[in-house]
Chains A and B, each alone.
Chain A
Amino acid sequence: MHIKPFQEFAKDKIGVAGLVLILFLFTTAILAPVIAPHDPWDYSASSFQQPSKEHLLGTNDIGYDIFSELLWSLRTSILFGIAVAAITCTLGLVLGVSAALIGGMYDMLVMRLADALLAIPTIMILILIAAYFKPSTTVLIIALSLVLWQTIARGVRAQTLSLKTKLYVKAANNMGAPTSYIMYKHIMPELFPLYAMGFVTKARIAVFMEAGLSFLGIFDPTTKSLGIMMSYAMRYLYLDVWFNWLLPPVFALSLLIVSLGLISYAIEEIFDPRLRRNNATPI
């Protein structure tokens, strides 16, 4: 059945809600250098100030403005999520499609590598990488992307193998179409649902992983991060700073993950007719 994904998405209230939320967070993150009232890497007042007009969320243990830190941390999370999702999905797409088209030993090697990565806990690999290299944002983006591509590659490979047997693909081949045409016109558009779904899912995982890793201290300490904010705030909970220091990054992170979750739910519903509410048969 032919699906017009953008029109369908526009009709999906959950998806639109997620998109509005993510656009709000995205705009805030982009505008962080403009709207942040203070330099988040510099003292702006004395330590542990309560929220005020000057410092909307107060200041932390070393006198940094928490609101400015929050905006810059959100920026890091979104950048991390987008970068990891883009690299992961591109890697998964290239490896999955090539494995399906080339086949043979190459296919076997790629799939065994994917199986191996599925079996090893991601967090352990990241801790080892972080221990060996300096855990900068770039290193962690690359490391996480290298261990998250396997599910995309497996899905893409299975879908490509199935598409190869479709009569309209064979028909294009019989018309003399080169592989590049078949890829561009027939295979890639059919993989779009998988790619869109994978992108949102991996972005969500990456955002969560970044916060988790930085909370554990496996992140560049000079980078502003929601996880680092939470980690520091936890140390001073006895000072009753939870509502202005711990809660904002937790809330921002939750909002980010929930908005990506809503979008992912909407995409899944659009491309899987069984999940469409208006198709449900009344009992």
Chain B
Amino acid sequence: MISVKDVSKSYKDLRVLSDVSLALDEGEILALVGETGSGKTTLAYLIAGTIKPDGGEILFRGRGVSDIDRKEFAKTVGIVYQSPRDSISHRFTVFETIAEPLHIHGEFDDESRGRIESALREVQLPVDEYFLQKYPHELSGGELQRVAIARALIMKPHLLIADESTSFLDPSVQAKVLRLLLDLQNERGISMLFVTHDIGVARKVSDRIAVLHGGDIVENAPAHRVIANPEHPYTKQLIGVAKGGG
């Protein structure tokens, strides 16, 4: 579905990605693993079409992402960010937050309330008026991240990008949100790009793992193989850290 070919990206003099190539199949969960500053979020945003590469090309179902109308392409990609407290406006209620993509794409109508309630049920949140009118500061981190997931899925995207979506949550909530993401992906059959620094989490959720290190993809293989037979020393190091071996 997504094909990244020899993509490079720099911010001023800092080269973040160097000739990166990657593919994401329909319905597949690909975990993009790397340390902070390895370029994984940049690669995710390049795939989402929100930033442009300096070189190379990104194809969505055979068409160049840069050739597709940005607003139209935005409908096909849902993003769940690391911190729901930062990614959701403090002035928006739950209802307004989930309705935002509908407003942006001119699809807000009489049936929207039903769509929003359905999205809330999918993420296992209440649909009563009291909850719909709550503001972010009245919700827990887990609830807020579920609202963010509902917002990402309301336009029925083909690709869901989870950018460190569970790293800000408590371990118990983290597990529940991960389970929810996997269930939703499974039910809808959408592709998912799971960006994380934790290879342990990547192993649990993904079909395939791509390891980014210093702007290059140093490992890209099925998850079980990466964990069982890591080839690159950096991957071995990550697995060692995840196992608590340092």
Query: Chain A: residues with CB nearer than 8 A to chain B?
Result: 1-2, 166-168, 170-178, 181, 185-186, 189-190
Q: Are B89 and A186 in contact (CB under 8 A)?
A: yes
Give the chain A neighbours of B88 by CB distance below 8 A: 168, 171
Q: Are B104 and A181 in contact (CB under 8 A)?
A: yes
Q: Are A1 and B79 in contact (CB under 8 A)?
A: no
Q: Are B104 and A167 in contact (CB under 8 A)?
A: no
- Tell whether A1 pairs with B90 under 8 Å between CB atoms, given A176-B70, A176-B75: yes
Q: Are A166 and B86 in contact (CB under 8 A)?
A: yes
Give the chain B neighbours of A2 by CB distance below 8 A: 90-91, 135-137
A21 CB to nearest chain B CB (Å):
30
- Alpha-carbon distance A2/B94, docked complex (angstroms): 13
**B121 at interface by CB-CB < 8 Å:** no
Find the residue from B72, B91, B135, B136 having the highest chain A CB count within 10 A: B91
- Tell whether A176 pairs with B86 under 8 Å between CB atoms, given A2-B135, A167-B81, A181-B104: no
Give the chain B neighbours of A190 by CB distance below 8 A: 91
The 6 A-B pairs at the shortest CB distance, nearest first, are namely A176-B74, A176-B71, A167-B86, A168-B89, A2-B135, A177-B104
**B105 at interface by CB-CB < 8 Å:** yes
- Alpha-carbon distance A190/B92, docked complex (angstroms): 12
Which residue of B45, B89, B101, B137 is within 8 Å of A175 (Cβ)?
B101
- Alpha-carbon distance A175/B70, docked complex (angstroms): 9
- Tell whether A1 pairs with B104 under 8 Å between CB atoms, given A166-B86, A167-B81: no
**B48 at interface by CB-CB < 8 Å:** yes
15 A-B interface contacts by CB (under 8 A): A1-B90, A2-B91, A2-B135, A166-B86, A168-B86, A168-B87, A168-B88, A171-B87, A174-B50, A174-B77, A175-B74, A175-B104, A176-B73, A185-B100, A186-B89
Give the chain A neighbours of B87 by CB distance below 8 A: 167-168, 171
Give the chain B neighbours of A1 by CB distance below 8 A: 90, 137
Other 12 A-B pairs with CB < 8 A, given A1-B90, A173-B50, A176-B101: A2-B137, A166-B86, A168-B87, A168-B88, A171-B81, A174-B74, A174-B79, A175-B100, A176-B70, A177-B104, A181-B103, A189-B91
Give the chain A neighbours of B50 by CB distance below 8 A: 170, 173-174
B155 CB to nearest chain A CB (Å):
8
B72 CB to nearest chain A CB (Å):
8
Contact with A along B41-53 (1 / 0, CB 8 A): 0000100101000
**B21 at interface by CB-CB < 8 Å:** no
- Alpha-carbon distance A189/B104, docked complex (angstroms): 17
**B10 at interface by CB-CB < 8 Å:** no
- Tell whether A176 pairs with B100 under 8 Å between CB atoms, given A2-B91, A167-B87: no
- Alpha-carbon distance A177/B105, docked complex (angstroms): 8
